[in-house]
């Protein structure tokens, strides 16, 4: 059985489509304070309604009960029960519209994929892809990924995390919202199996450089390459990625493994 690692790993995780979640100057400036006045956890995303097509809405409503898992802070996932097998588990944090997720899962039926996303149109789109491609190895949780991973994922249980094009939060005052930074990366490291990997891709070079430093300082992780990773051919290009290329933005990739 071949795990979906790059070739160097041998054999043997919020795409947050940041253009969809770009923060305006006023709409969310108080979102770190709950209604009762107490400060709550800083979120790595901002919800945007987006365009919900009739097909996406229908699939969201009808198929999420079939392939979705409800968030429960008091319940730890048993991946063997969730997927019905002992195959490796990859968690994708923020899969956007889900095209890359569906293609990777279709190409690797012996690997289980758990996608965590809050963008309802994207969830509906991926659910439709699961039906059309007859995929058996994807489950979805529609909730904040950091809460899911902290509360519902056992330590040392995940073979890989995929994070494709997370919101870069380019303004300095928003950097605390970036997903790939400590202590969030330390949480991800703790959830990974020894030899597992974290694969991060972004089209925002300052975020890539920031993430490289944060991951390098994360306990338990080591860079598989000298600096940025080479392009991983098994990862499908998305339309969002092509927009970055068309805008002359550099696509940067990082690959860290759990020691």
Q: Is the peptide bond before 183 cis (omega within 30 degrees of 0)?
A: yes
* pLDDT tens-digit series, residues 58-89: 999 999 999 999 999 999 999 999 999 999 99
Cα(189)–Cα(56) distance, integer angstroms: 34
Find out whether 120 is annotated in a ligand binding site.
Answer: no
Burial of 124 (0-12, 13-18, 19+ CB in 10 A): buried
Here the CATH number for the domain that contains residue 159 is: 3.40.50.150
d(C-alpha 174, C-alpha 161), whole Å: 23
Q: Which domain holds residue 248?
A: 14-258
Is residue 106 domain-resident?
Answer: yes
Catalytic position from the list 78, 155, 167, 246? 167
Q: State mean pLDDT over 225-254.
A: 94
8 marked as binding residue: no
- Residue range 16-30: mean pLDDT, rounded: 37
Pairwise CA distance, residues 204 & 30, whole Å? 26
Residue 119 in domain: yes
- For residues 129-155, give the mean pLDDT: 98
Per-residue pLDDT at 164 exceeds 60: yes
Please state which of the ranges 49-53, 60-64, 184-188, 211-215 shows the lowest mean pLDDT. Answer: 49-53
To the question of whether residue 117 is assigned a binding role by annotation, the answer is yes
**155 is a catalytic site residue:** no
Assigned domain for 35 exists: yes
**Per-residue pLDDT at 27:** 37
In angstroms, rounded to a whole number, what is the distance separating the alpha carbons of residues 94 and 121? 12
Alpha-carbon distance of 45 to 54, in angstroms, equals 25
Given CA atoms 163, 158, 141, 232 in this order, what sign does their dihedral have?
A: positive
The Cα 235–Cα 102 span in angstroms is: 11
Q: Is 241 annotated as a binding residue?
A: yes
pLDDT digits (tens, 9 = 90+) for 171-199: 999 899 999 999 999 999 999 999 999 99
Does 167 show up as a binding residue in the annotation?
yes
Instruction: Look at residue 10 and tell me whether its pLDDT is greater than 50.
Output: no
Residue 87 in any domain: the answer is: yes
Yes or no: say if 214 and 182 are a contact pair by the CB < 8 Å rule: yes
Q: Assess if residue 3 is contained within a domain.
A: no
Inside any domain, residue 5? no
Task: Consult the annotation and say whether 144 binds a ligand.
Answer: yes
Which single residue is written with the structure tokens 């209604």?
35
The lowest-confidence range among 10-24, 51-65, 76-90 is 10-24
- The answer to whether residue 8 is domain-embedded is no
Look up residue 247 and give its two tokens: 């805008």
The total number of structural domains that make up the chain: 1
Closest C-alpha among 214, 143, 138, 216 to residue 179: 214
- The beta strands (E) that lie in the chain are given as 89-93, 112-116, 138-141, 158-164, 192-202, 221-223, 252-258
- Residue 1 belongs to a domain: no
Cα dihedral 114, 115, 118, 119, rounded to 10, equals -150
pLDDT in tens, 94-115: 999 999 999 999 999 999 999 9
Measure the CA–CA gap between 232 and 236, rounded to whole angstroms. 9
Q: Where residue 239 falls among pLDDT bands split at 50, 70, 90?
A: confident
């Amino acid at each position: 059985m071949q795990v979906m690692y790059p070739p160097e790993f041998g054999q043997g995780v919020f795409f947050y489509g940041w253009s969809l979640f770009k923060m305006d100057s006023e709409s969310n400036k108080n979102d770190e304070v709950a209604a009762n006045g107490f400060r709550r956890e800083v979120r790595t995303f901002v919800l945007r309604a987006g365009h919900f097509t009739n097909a996406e809405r229908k699939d969201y409503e009808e198929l999420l009960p079939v392939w979705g898992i409800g968030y429960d802070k008091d319940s730890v996932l048993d991946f063997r029960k969730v997927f019905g097998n002992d195959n490796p588990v990859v968690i994708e944090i923020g899969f956007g519209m889900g095209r890359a997720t569906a293609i990777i899962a279709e190409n690797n039926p012996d690997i289980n994929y758990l996608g965590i996303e809050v963008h309802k149109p994207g969830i509906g789109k991926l659910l439709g892809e699961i039906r059309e491609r007859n995929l058996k190895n994807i489950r979805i949780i529609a909730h904040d990924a950091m809460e899911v991973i902290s509360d519902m994922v056992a330590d040392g249980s995940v073979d890989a995390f995929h994070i494709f094009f997370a919101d870069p939060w380019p303004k300095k005052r928003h950097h605390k919202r970036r997903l790939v930074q400590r202590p969030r990366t330390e949480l991800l490291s703790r959830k990974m199996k020894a030899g597992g990997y974290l694969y991060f891709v972004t089209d925002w070079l300052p975020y890539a450089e920031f993430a490289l430093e944060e991951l390098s300082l994360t306990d338990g992780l080591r860079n598989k390459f000298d600096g940025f990773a080479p392009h991983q051919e098994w990862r499908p290009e998305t339309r969002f990625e092509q927009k970055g290329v068309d805008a002359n933005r550099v696509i940067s990739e990082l690959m860290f493994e759990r020691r």
